Amino acid sequence: MKGAPFSFLRLGLVAQNTLREAVRQRLLHLFVGLALALVLGARGLRDFNFGAPELKFLADCGFGAMTLFGSALTIAATAQLFFSELENRTALTLLAKPVWRAEFLLGKLLGVALLTALFCALLTGLLAAVLWVREGELMALDPEGFRGGRAVSYAMVALGGSLQWLRLVVLAAFTLLVASFARTQVFAVVCGFGVLVICHLQHLAQEAYTRAGSAVGVALGGFLGGMFPNFQVLSLADSLDAADLPSLATWARLTAYGLGWAVAAGLLAVLSFRRREI
């Protein structure tokens, strides 16, 4: 795109269009519906709860729904939105105009990031509402147990939602990185789930290699581990107690970590996409 400088406006337009297209997808409705049903229906699962306090159990179900359905949604939507542009030839038409490939790809990433932000905000809000209502009921039943007022830290719930979103953005960036060179959508989706597993469990693999004492294994584990983010770090909001709220510095570090990985994977996706023949 000689002559036309990089434009955030065009990037924003691609993002807007991506978001608009994403919200029309039936797959999105399915995942959102399932996640909402699980958050709302978590109260029905209370009979299966033995150990955790009820409110913690509800929060676990909510964040679990966000992780599971959010990850599936992110991977599927990213791959689908990218490949539909290639298969329908709309990418070809678009890139024939003064639009950078970087604008196109980062616009896609931003669009998916907005989509996941809406998803996380919706579920976090719903989870907070479910917790608020149930906590109110429990307070009425047992005023002695809530002498100090409400026990749930809603700031912690919001933090949990924001960390979930960071994870999904990183996952979207990695899926887009794979999609930038993949030939088929299925390959990108499968690799996306592979990345999800690696990012969650890589620390265990590294520890296993270290314990096995294999120098090759340790080197391989360290090499692979260094190339993927650790998603377990972004699950710090594991409590509903205000006392466990991480400091502002920790929160800033976690945000920088998540966004840093998303930017790195996004830029590498641009680099890869620039060499792709469409």
Partner 1 sequence: MKSRLGLAVVVCAGLGLAGQVLAPLVAEPWRERREREPALRLEPGVAAAGQGVTLALLGGFRALVADAAWIQMYARWERRDLAGTEAFARLVTTVDPRPVYFWLNAARILAYDFPAWRIEAAGGYDAVPAAVQRAVNEAQAAAALEVLGAARRRHPESVDLWVEEANIHLNRRGDPLAAAAAYREAWARPRAPYYVARLRAEVLRRAGRRAEALAWLREVHPALPAGDPGAGAEVVLQRIRELEAELGVPAGEVYRPGR
Interface ranges with partner 1 (CB under 8 A): 45, 48-53, 56-57, 60-61, 63-64, 66-68, 177, 181, 196-197, 200-201, 203-204, 207-208, 211, 223, 225-230, 232-233, 235-236, 238, 246, 250, 253-254, 256-257, 260-261, 264-265, 267-268, 271-272, 275
Q: What Å distances lie between residue 81 and 20, 139, 153, 155, CA to CA?
A: 11, 46, 37, 33
Q: Which is nearer to partner 1, 12 or 64 (CB)?
A: 64
Q: Which is nearer to partner 1, 66 or 115 (CB)?
A: 66
In the complex, least distance from residue 24 CB atom to partner 1, rounded to whole angstroms = 27
In the complex, least distance from residue 60 CB atom to partner 1, rounded to whole angstroms = 4
Q: Which is nearer to partner 1, 24 or 183 (CB)?
A: 183
Angle, vertex CA 80, rays to CA 77 and CA 86, nearest 5:
145
CB-CB contact of 168 with 74 (8 Å): yes
In the complex, least distance from residue 48 CB atom to partner 1, rounded to whole angstroms = 5
Sequence-ordered alpha helix ranges (H) in the chain: 8-23, 26-41, 54-87, 90-96, 101-141, 154-181, 185-212, 215-227, 248-274
254: its two tokens: 């976690």
In the complex, least distance from residue 19 CB atom to partner 1, rounded to whole angstroms = 25
In the complex, least distance from residue 97 CB atom to partner 1, rounded to whole angstroms = 26
Q: What Å distances lie between residue 86 and 25, 72, 94, 183, CA to CA?
A: 17, 21, 10, 10
In the complex, least distance from residue 264 CB atom to partner 1, rounded to whole angstroms = 4
In the complex, least distance from residue 20 CB atom to partner 1, rounded to whole angstroms = 29
DSSP for 103-156 reads HHHHHHHHHHHHHHHHHHHHHHHHHHHHHHHHHHHHHHH-GGGGTTS----HHH
Q: Which is nearer to partner 1, 15 or 196 (CB)?
A: 196
Q: Which is nearer to partner 1, 40 or 68 (CB)?
A: 68
Between CA 126 and CA 241 the distance in angstroms is 19
Q: Which is nearer to partner 1, 19 or 195 (CB)?
A: 195
Nearest C-alpha neighbor of 63 from the set 104, 123, 109, 11: 123
Q: Which is nearer to partner 1, 91 or 195 (CB)?
A: 195
The radius of gyration of the chain from alpha carbons, rounded to an integer in Å, stands at 21
